[in-house]
Amino acid sequence: MTPAPTPAPTPALTPVPRSITVVGASLAGLSTVRALRAEGYDGALTLVGAERHLPYDRPPLSKDFLKGAADADSLALGTAEEYDGLGVEWLLGETAARLDPAARTVTLGGGRELRTDAVVVATGATPRRLPGTDGLAGVHTLRTLDDAVALRADLTAGSPRLVVIGAGFIGAEVAATAHALGLQVTVVEAVEVPLERALGREMGLLCAGLHADHGVELLCGTGVAGFSSDGGRVTGVQLADGRLLPADVVLVGVGVRPNTDWLAGSGVAVDDGVVCDAGCATGIPNVLAVGDVARVPHPFTGRHARIEHWTNAMEQAATAARTLLSGASTAPRAVPPYFWSHQYGSMIQLAGHVAPGARPRVVEGDLDTRSFVAAYELDGHTTAYLSINQPKLFNRLRRGLTPLLATP
Ligand SMILES: Cc1cc2nc3c(=O)[nH]c(=O)nc-3n(C[C@H](O)[C@H](O)[C@H](O)COP(=O)(O)OP(=O)(O)OC[C@H]3O[C@@H](n4cnc5c(N)ncnc54)[C@H](O)[C@@H]3O)c2cc1C
């Protein structure tokens, strides 16, 4: 990937904006309005969200919600009482179509123009689709509550054979949930070692082993050439090596594309996400970005990256609120990026950065029992911790992580 362009030095953002529009009403957007109010901001706040739903939690969509162990109400990120107290104008089911920073306007899909002193971009990302799947019944991606409802309906109609394309975290979680529902599941992964980029080779192989532990077939190192259908509904997945996997339901989990199309022509620098500094400022006064859509300097490498984790969305929201209200973009204390994943009853947690060349060393437990904490070490420095089913120790250790660059 080409290095992200460095945003222009952020000019002073003073005075504090009298009105702020947050575009994207999910975790990062809601966390931003919460943080602004918590910091004492008493100006006008508008939250624009393309989905009809009030903000809800996405992690359970591939886990308990898909399994049927949690209902939609339990996913709510806030309560009616809290939302009343926030004093926010909610524009749900509305899509921002254009941003004009000079005119200080956000134009909605229907043509309505919102005037605003500042904009926080919190529009997240959309799953990538595969060619040949448009309009093909039985082929799913998973990002939204509506996606999860549709996928669950297909998974619980009879005993469908599920093929999951992509053995990343979303694909692995859906495979594990479908296995728990008693379905026959095959996972197809283009690279030889799933999750190698996130976890390194050894731990990528180990996590991929969870599928085999539970009798779920994992086919690595082969791409998808196409799909067979009965005209309207998928019947199989054609692999690049010639094999045809029968399938009644297919989940495509091959990554996401940040939702930035609406920023075209705005002057905001976009390069696989909205390019920001560490204070979430874009270089255009009073335009900031947070959450999965934001491409910020990684706290542990300094290189621009989108950090698609739940906790990051909340941390960046707090950072953006401080930037908006202080009038200056300042980098927060470097917090190690953190995410978790639940698969086959196991809790996987990673914090920090798995630097190229860093070797995992088990510091507690053992790999065979799938219960351990491993430290990734490079030049005597621990750059990350990975844990399976050892949350207590992991959570203690991760607080001590520091960027390699900041080591004396
Ligand atoms: C199935 C699933 C499971 C996950 N599990 C985990 C996990 O176990 N652990 C973990 O750390 N993370 C997990 N994540 C990731 C985590 O949920 C995300 O990092 C988090 O949701 C990011 O929040 P966000 O607000 O930045 O983006 P999103 O949650 O994607 O929200 C963006 C919102 O903006 C809206 N929007 C987009 N464009 C526009 C527009 N032009 N106008 C108005 N609104 C717009 C979208 O409709 C959406 O509602 C999971 C994600 C998914 C999908």
Q: What is the CATH number of the domain that holds 38?
A: 3.50.50.60
Q: Whose CA is nearest to atom 3 of ligand 1?
A: 59
Does residue 248 share a domain with residue 133?
yes
Task: Please report, rounded to a whole number, the percentage of residues in the chain having pLDDT higher than 70.
Answer: 95
Pocket test for ligand 1, best of 90, 108, 114, 292 (most atoms within 8 A of CB): 292
Q: Assess if residue 6 is contained within a domain.
A: no
Quick one: average pLDDT of 217-223? 96
Answer whether residue 1 is part of any domain. no
Question: Please, which pLDDT band fits residue 334 given cuts at 50, 70 and 90?
Answer: confident
Residue nearest to atom 26 of ligand 1 (CA): 291
Q: Are 315 and 353 contained in the same domain?
A: no
Could you tell me if 77 and 166 lie in one domain? no
Compute the distance from residue 59 Cα to the ligand 1 centre, in Å. 9
**88 located within any domain:** yes
Nearest protein Cα to ligand 1, atom 27:
124
**pLDDT averaged over every residue in the chain:** 94
Residue 314 is predicted with a pLDDT of: 97
**Residue 403 pLDDT:** 80
- Picking from 229, 252, 275, the residue at the C-terminal end of a domain is 252
160 is a domain residue: yes
Average pLDDT over residues 327-346: 92
pLDDT tier for residue 141 given thresholds of 50, 70 and 90:
very high
Whether residue 269 sits in one domain with residue 155:
no
Atom of ligand 1 nearest to the CA of 127: 53
Distance (angstroms) between ligand 1 centre and the Cα of 246 equals 31
* Same domain flag for 275 and 297: yes
Mean pLDDT of 258-282: 98
- Name every residue whose Cβ is closer than 8 Å to that of residue 48 and which is 6 or more positions away in sequence: 21, 22, 23, 24, 25, 91, 94, 95, 96, 106, 108, 114
- Kindly tell me if the per-residue pLDDT of 169 is higher than 50: yes
Higher local confidence (pLDDT), 288 or 406: 288
Is 180 domain-assigned? yes
Half-sphere exposure of 122 (CA within 13 A, CB side): 35
What is the per-residue pLDDT for 73? 97
Tell me, in angstroms, the distance from the centre of ligand 1 to residue 314's CA: 12
Q: Radius of gyration (Cα) for the chain, nearest Å? A: 22
112 and 137 co-located in one domain: no
For residue 123, the CA-to-ligand 1 centroid distance in Å is 8
Please check the confidence at residue 1 and state whether its pLDDT lies above 50: no
200 and 267 part of one domain: no
Question: What average pLDDT does the segment 349-371 reach?
Answer: 95
Q: Tell me, what's the pLDDT at 405?
A: 60
Instruction: Give the pLDDT mean for 55-69.
Output: 98
pLDDT given at position 15: 81
Say whether both 280 and 310 belong to one domain: yes
Task: Give the residue, out of 23, 27, 149, with the most ligand 1 atoms within 8 A of its beta carbon, to mutate for a pocket test.
Answer: 27
C-alpha span between 263 and 268 (Å, rounded): 7
Residues 203 and 234 in one domain: yes
Among the listed ranges 66-70, 288-292, 325-329, which one has the minimum average pLDDT value? 325-329
- Among residues 204, 234, 252, the one where a domain terminates is 252
Atom in ligand 1 nearest the alpha carbon of residue 27: 25
Structurally, how many domains does the chain consist of? 3
- CA of 305 from ligand 1 middle (Å) equals 16
Range of the domain at 389: 345-403
Q: Judge whether residue 298 has pLDDT over 70.
A: yes
Whether residues 146 and 64 share a domain: the answer is no
Does residue 315 register a pLDDT over 80? yes
Predicted pLDDT at 139: 98
Is residue 192 a part of any domain in this protein? yes
Reported confidence tier of residue 364, pLDDT bands at 50, 70, 90? very high
Of 86, 82, 91, 106, residue with least CA distance to 42: 86
Are residues 118 and 32 located together in one domain of the fold? yes
The whole-angstrom separation of Cα 42 and Cα 30 is 16
Q: Does pLDDT of 331 surpass 90?
A: no
247 and 147 housed in the same domain:
yes
How far, in Å, from the CA of 56 to the mean position of ligand 1? 9
Cβ atoms of residues 290 and 121 within 8 Å: yes
Q: Mean pLDDT lowest for which of 102-111, 282-291, 294-303? A: 294-303
User: Quick one: CA torsion of 155, 159, 160, 166, rounded to 10 degrees?
Assistant: 60
In a domain, 231, yes or no: yes
- Please give the order of strands across the beta sheet that includes 304-306: 274-275, 294-297, 304-306
For ligand 1, mutation pick of 21, 22, 26, 143 (most atoms within 8 Å of CB)? 26
pLDDT above 90: residue 333: no
Pocket of ligand 1 (CB under 6 A): 23-29, 48-51, 58-59, 61-62, 95-96, 122-125, 142-143, 170, 259, 262, 291-292, 308-310, 313, 339-341
Q: In testing the pocket of ligand 1, which one of 23, 58, 63, 207 has its CB within 8 Å of the most ligand atoms? A: 58
Whether residue 337 lies inside any domain: the answer is no
- The CATH number of whichever domain residue 391 belongs to comes to 3.30.390.30
Q: Which residue among 218, 237, 252 closes a domain?
A: 252
